[in-house]
Amino acid sequence: MLPFPRLALLAAVGALLFGVADAQARGGSYVFEGGSEAARQQVRAALDASDFDWDRVEQTITITISQCGCAGATPGSIILDESTLVASPFGDRYAWGIVQHEYAHQVAYLLLDQADIRQAREALGGEDWCYERPGVAHDDHACERFAATFAWTYWPSADNNQRSEAVMSAKAFRNLMSRLLPAPRSRPAPQRGIIRSGPSGRASAKLTRAR
């Protein structure tokens, strides 16, 4: 048995660590349709790895997981590939940047107004905002630049495959986001990872894609 002073110190450190972990558990409000438990756990881990407070997206997002060979987002919905989440040859955390990229689209869809989008486009460049013009290359849509830079900024890890797609430094992007997003306010506890029964549904034909 440890002496009391050491026990007290360990208890205090443990409380501090658990408190920090709890404070950073801002994994967003979402429900799953389809997917294995291993794939769903990958999504949770990806969102928890990010430094962004996903709870700021107050709408509950439906995350569909299927063997689609795709990744995409429309307002309120995300679709992810089962195999990429659980069987990537590049490692367990390869898909995390992709998950964060697609959830970053929800930030743009649901939190940015037209004035914000104009400001973001000015900073990010690109030929349009988000697929308004046909024939524009994936990386030349400003919304894709936003999502990739967002994912890299809030999870600057060597495992983040979005790093090569980022078009701004993390510091500059954080400064941009501080201007775009309103200050957080109190809100009800979000739903996290609820599993819906029934079919997984279909992806919209107009999906944004993360490479």
Rounded average pLDDT over 11-20: 35
- Indicate whether 61 belongs to any domain: yes
Average pLDDT of the segment spanning 62-81: 98
Tell me how far apart the alpha carbons of residues 99 and 151 are, in angstroms, rounded to a whole number. Answer: 9
The answer to whether residue 209 sits within a structural domain is no
Q: Residues 160-188: pLDDT tens digits?
A: 999 999 999 999 999 999 999 977 655 55
What's the total number of domains in the chain? 1
The mean pLDDT of 190-200, rounded to a whole number, is 53
27 pLDDT tier (thresholds 50, 70, 90): confident
Categorize the per-residue pLDDT at 29 as very low, low, confident or very high, splitting at 50, 70 and 90: very high
Residues 93-127 pLDDT 10s: 999 999 999 999 999 999 999 999 999 999 999 99
Q: Is residue 10 part of a domain?
A: no
Which is more confidently placed, 197 or 205?
A: 197
pLDDT confidence tier of residue 77, bands split at 50, 70 and 90: very high
Do 48 and 25 contact (CB within 8 A), yes or no? yes
Instruction: State the residue range of the domain holding 52.
Output: 27-196
Average pLDDT, the chain: 83
77 belongs to a structural domain: yes
- Is 168 part of any domain? yes
The residues near 160 (Cβ < 8 Å, ≥ 6 apart) are: 96, 97, 100, 151, 152
Does 183 fall in a domain? yes
Is residue 184 assigned to a domain? yes
> 174: part of which helix (H) or strand (E)?
helix 170-180
Amino acid 9: pLDDT: 39
Q: Is the pLDDT of residue 198 over 70?
A: no
Q: How far out from the chain centre does Cα 12 lie? A: 32
Q: Quick check: is 64 in a domain?
A: yes
